[in-house]
Amino acid sequence: MGRALLIVDVQNDFTEDGALAVAGGDAVAIGVTRLLEARAREYDAIIASRDWHDADGDNGGHFSEDPDFIDTWPVHCVAGTPGAEYDPWFDPAAVTHHVKKGQGVPAYSMFEGATDDGETVAEILAERGVDGVDVVGLATDHCVLASSRDALAAGLRVRILTDLVAGVAPDTSYAALERLVAGGAELGSAGVH
């Protein structure tokens, strides 16, 4: 069976100097680019997601002027703005599918998004006979967690490449990885420097 690489939200607003910056975000972007340069041919699909929120409204309660940083957040990754674009250290040339999520609604998992043609991640993986995924990106304790959980729920073998993820906080990131392992995921390393 096949294997896919899921690249979660390596975007300007989640990397250094972004609206919701994650420490180490640029390093993840650089590492993912190196992984693609070295091993893109090993994957049957390479899917990259982006938060792509509407400029108008609060996106179903996702945006708040007084965010709790659990369910509500400052404005980020607004469609068509520099913050929603991929981090400049991430070269998406090898990406086979680009997925947008969170258009008018809260969305953490890339499985909640779709390509511009309306194709979902689940459909892309099924079409290519993928039964295993490697997961990289941002943030470990939010969208990487949600995407990995949905991949597990879909019956996929999930491996998180821990040297190519970064989280909001060490404690919650560690807890997220523990939850994923308890749910059947494995932890691995891309081993690219």
- Which positions are catalytic? 9, 101, 143
- DSSP single-letter state for residue 86: B
Q: Please, which residues bridge with residue 165 across strands?
A: 137
- The angle that helices 145-153 and 170-182 make with each other, rounded to 10 degrees, is 10
- DSSP single-letter state for residue 61: T
* Alpha-carbon distances of 145 from 66, 111, 138, 179, rounded to whole Å: 24, 12, 9, 9
* Alpha-carbon distances of 88 from 105, 159, 166, 172, 177, rounded to whole Å: 26, 25, 17, 27, 27
